[in-house]
A and B are shown apart, each in its own frame.
Chain A
Amino acid sequence: MSDSPEHEQHIVSPKVYVAILLALLTLTATTVAASYVEMYVFNAVVALAIAVIKASLVVLFFMHVKYSPRLTKLTVVSGLFVFLCLISMTLADYVSRAWGRW
Chain B
Amino acid sequence: MSDSTAIAHGAEAGAHHEHPPYQRHHFETVNQQFDATNFAMWLFLLTEIMFFGGLFTAYLILRNWYYPAFVEGSHQLSIFWGTANTTVLIISSFTMAMSVWNAQMRRKSALLLCLVLTFILGLVFLGIKGIEWHEKWVKFHVPGLHYSDQTFLNPASDHEVYAEYHDKPLAPDMASKAQQYFFLYFAMTGMHALHMVIGICILGFMIVRAKAGAYTSGHVTFVENFGLYWHFVDIVWIFLFPLLYLISRHQ
Contact = CB atoms under 8 A, between A and B. Distances in A.
B101 A47 contact: no
Given A9-B31, A17-B94, A32-B246, A59 B235 contact: yes
B201 to A, nearest CB: 21
Given A24-B93, A39-B250, A91-B60, 17 more contacts: A6-B31, A9-B31, A13-B101, A14-B101, A17-B101, A21-B90, A28-B90, A35-B250, A36-B249, A58-B231, A58-B235, A64-B224, A79-B49, A83-B53, A86-B53, A87-B60, A90-B57
A72 B42 contact: yes
Contacts of B228: 63
A35 B57 contact: no
Interface centre among A12, A20, A31, A80 (most CB of B within 10 A): A31
Contacts of A68: 38
A83 B90 contact: no
Given A51-B238, A55-B238, A32 B79 contact: yes
Nearest to A38: B250
A48 B242 contact: yes
Interface residues of B, number: 53
Interface in B30-60: 31-32, 34-35, 38-39, 42-43, 45-46, 49-50, 53, 56-57, 60
9 contacts: A1-B28, A18-B94, A21-B91, A21-B94, A58-B231, A62-B96, A62-B234, A63-B228, A79-B49
A79 B65 contact: no
B65 A102 contact: yes
A30 to B, nearest CB: 11
A1 B227 contact: no
A68 B50 CA distance: 22
A21 B97 CA distance: 10
A3 to B, nearest CB: 10
A10 to B, nearest CB: 10
Contacts, number: 136
B242 A51 contact: yes
Question: On chain A, which size bracket covers the interface?
Answer: 35 or more
Given A28-B90, A75-B42, A55 B247 contact: no
A43 B31 contact: no
A16 to B, nearest CB: 9
A11 to B, nearest CB: 5
B216 interface: no
A40 B239 contact: no
B101 A11 contact: yes
A40 B53 contact: no
B29 A2 contact: yes
A28 B250 contact: no
A40 B91 CA distance: 31
A87 B56 CA distance: 9
B104 A11 contact: yes
A36 B231 CA distance: 28
B75 to A, nearest CB: 12
